[in-house]
Amino acid sequence: MWFRRKTSGPPDEEKLARRKRRRRRRWWFYGGLTGAFWCFYIWQPWEFDFVPRSLPSPNPKVNPEPERLFAKGAKVLLVTAHPDDSEFYIGGTLVQLGRAQAEVTHVLCTDGDKAYYPFEDHEKNRRTRRAEQAEASGRWNARELVYLGFPDGRLRVTDKLVDDLVAVMERVQPDYVLAFDGDFPPRFSHQDHRRAGEATEKAVLKYGKARWLMRYSTLAANYVRDITDDWPTKSELLAIHKSQFFGERLERVRGMVAGRAEDDGEAIGVPLGEGFRCTRLTTR
């Protein structure tokens, strides 16, 4: 036998309707929050791999013929996305290349002018960042700086970007191309870095004459350069990018970069290193 519980509150229909309204409001609130977060995520230029990428396994160590790379007159093309990437990721290696008198042409896909931010003076940013990069590259002895002028924070792998990179390659005739790793980037990384890496990978295949592609900022390094002795210079190079790294922030960045260098160095048993994922492209 069923008994109906006596209640002193409003009738059941009214309760149900109230519960429905509450549920609807909750849906709107959390849906709106998720939508707002997603819109912000799409707008801002950083990417996060919600599902971690599986890394190459096995990933044997390779020898990218360093005696050929760190040599007078070695033809090297470095592709970065923004000013400061070069010093941040491979400053130690660049110092060593400069010392060896390798001929490094540095291509920057964007000016890092932050034009995607609504309240930034991008003309001023462009001038400042170019000046800082010129000073830093001068310190490690870059042969030439080439700005491709693609939009900062919105770099895409277009035919134009790939063709521009191929054109520089054809002119410089590099044996070694150094670029971001577009396939195995850090899980949380700038989208311009990934796109610059992907575009360079396409360009280098089109160019077809480079001997080695060495990808930095990678989770799948198969070659590590010992930069222990060059750490003080790398640390000074970071400070040249005053518009980005200053005061406490500079110290935080130095700490972060040192942490990465320690992790990379551990792989070859040295205090500090810079890791690359290298692929032999031709036998020339």
Distances (CA, A) of 115 to 38, 119, 189, 245: 21, 9, 19, 19
State phi, psi for 178 to the nearest 5 degrees.
-110, 125
Tell me, by CB under 5 A, how many residues bind Zn ion.
3
CB of 235 to Zn ion, least distance (A): 18
Three-state secondary structure call for residue 176: strand
Of 140, 96, 101, nearest to 230 by C-alpha is 96
* Stretch near Zn ion under the rule CB under 5 A, chosen from 69-77, 80-88, 181-189, 216-224: 80-88
Which one of residues 70, 78, 85, 113 is an interface residue with Zn ion (CB under 5 A)? Answer: 85
* Stretch near Zn ion under the rule CB under 5 A, chosen from 75-83, 142-150, 196-204, 274-282: 75-83
CB of 280 to Zn ion, least distance (A): 27
Instruction: Specify the residue for token string 């590099």.
Output: 174
Q: Between 82 and 129, name the residue whose CB sits nearer to Zn ion.
A: 82
Q: Restricting to residues 105-134, which ones interact with Zn ion according to CB under 5 A?
A: none
CB of 53 to Zn ion, least distance (A): 20
Q: Answer yes or no: are the C-beta atoms of 197 and 157 closer than 8 Å.
A: no
Q: Between 82 and 202, name the residue whose CB sits nearer to Zn ion.
A: 82
Q: Answer yes or no: are the C-beta atoms of 89 and 273 closer than 8 Å.
A: no
Q: Between 74 and 81, name the residue whose CB sits nearer to Zn ion.
A: 81
* Stretch near Zn ion under the rule CB under 5 A, chosen from 82-90, 143-151, 163-171, 269-277: 82-90
Distances (CA, A) of 51 to 48, 196, 232: 9, 22, 37
241 scored as a contact of Zn ion (CB under 5 A)? no
Distances (CA, A) of 95 to 63, 80, 104, 225: 20, 16, 11, 12
Residues 6+ apart with CB under 8 A from 25: none
CB of 193 to Zn ion, least distance (A): 6
Distances (CA, A) of 163 to 76, 156, 192: 18, 13, 17
Q: Answer yes or no: are the C-beta atoms of 278 and 64 closer than 8 Å.
A: yes
* Stretch near Zn ion under the rule CB under 5 A, chosen from 26-34, 78-86, 158-166, 176-184: 78-86
Residue 220: DSSP 8-state: S
Q: Answer yes or no: are the C-beta atoms of 254 and 88 closer than 8 Å.
A: no
Q: Restricting to residues 27-46, which ones interact with Zn ion according to CB under 5 A?
A: none
* Stretch near Zn ion under the rule CB under 5 A, chosen from 71-79, 83-91, 159-167, 209-217: 83-91
Give the nearest residue (CB) to Zn ion: 82
CB of 17 to Zn ion, least distance (A): 54
82 scored as a contact of Zn ion (CB under 5 A)? yes
CB of 185 to Zn ion, least distance (A): 11
Catalog residues that contact Zn ion under the rule CB under 5 A: 81-82, 85
